Amino acid sequence: MLKLAGARLLDERDARAVREALAADPVVSCMVASRVEQTGLDPWRLGGELWGVGSRLDGLCFSGPNMVPLRGDRHAIRSFAARAGGRARSCSSMVGPAEQVLELWSELDARWGPAREVRTDQPLMALAGPPIVPADPLVRPVRPDELDRYLPAAVAMFTEEVGVDPRRPDGGAGYRARVAELIASGRAFARFEAGEVVFKAEIGAMSAAVGQIQGVWVHPERRGGGLGAAGTATVVERLRTTGRMASLYVNAFNDPARRAYTRVGFTQVGEFASVLF
């Protein structure tokens, strides 16, 4: 009986095959492709490991701060589970195509569980052309000197969306540094009124082909007035100036957000799932 090979750690010798695998679905692979394009495959520089199954990388999974199984049949997913399950969990979430994520979690929950929350239905949306609503001219990149004014909105968004305060592990130092990094790279956007953020969004991952929008938030007192759609349209336009397609994923139960993204022109191109720890 033929014994199938398990998941292996990929390195620079696999660079061409990795690029081809990531390019096969640039929207799905944006989070991982953005890292690989910037750093290559060395785990220390990548901030995690990239695992593959098969000579043509029919199975591909990133294991780092987040675990992202991008592709793979049942054998590949079991191979990823075997490799991951042999060590203590270090990732804060598992996210990616719903079929791969949920199957991988079914293999790991007995060893890694319990999860804090499993979100099984998160439409993956994309917009290749221009937005179909006018962009908000008052939404602009956040300046580094505005970090302290921007940070409360970022914390509020994260807490509302994820269900935990991002400042909890270390008093906020790590989250502040991450937000400062996004601002410094020109990937945090906001509309300020009287010095307060009323809309915010970020480009969380940006590959050569796709920018993934995240952290879209409207001040509770300003919701329902179109700020979310118009502000998101501004970020889409910014991505278009760089030649990139805009994408995002959203919880299926978040009807207001889904309606806003549809008004902007986004259409569903896939389905993600997330396991939150």
Q: Taking the domains of the chain in order of start, what are their residue ranges?
A: 8-115, 140-270
Which pLDDT score, from 0 to 100, does residue 4 have? 52
CA distances from 21 to 62, 71, 118 (A): 13, 9, 27
Global confidence as pTM:
0.93
At residue 194, does pLDDT exceed 60?
yes
At residue 2, does pLDDT exceed 70?
no
Instruction: Specify the fold of 140-270.
Output: Aminopeptidase (3.40.630)
Question: Mean pLDDT of all residues in the chain?
Answer: 95
DSSP letters spanning 116-166: SEEEEEEEEEEE-S--SS---TT-EEPPGGGHHHHHHHHHHHHHHHHSS-T
pLDDT band at residue 217 under the 50/70/90 scheme? very high
Report the C-alpha gap between 181 and 16 in whole angstroms: 29
Report the C-alpha gap between 230 and 116 in whole angstroms: 33
Which pLDDT score, from 0 to 100, does residue 86 have? 87
**Could you tell me which residue, 136 or 6, shows the higher pLDDT?**
136
Report the C-alpha gap between 101 and 20 in whole angstroms: 21
Which pLDDT score, from 0 to 100, does residue 151 have? 97
As a whole number, mean pLDDT of residues 31-43 equals 97
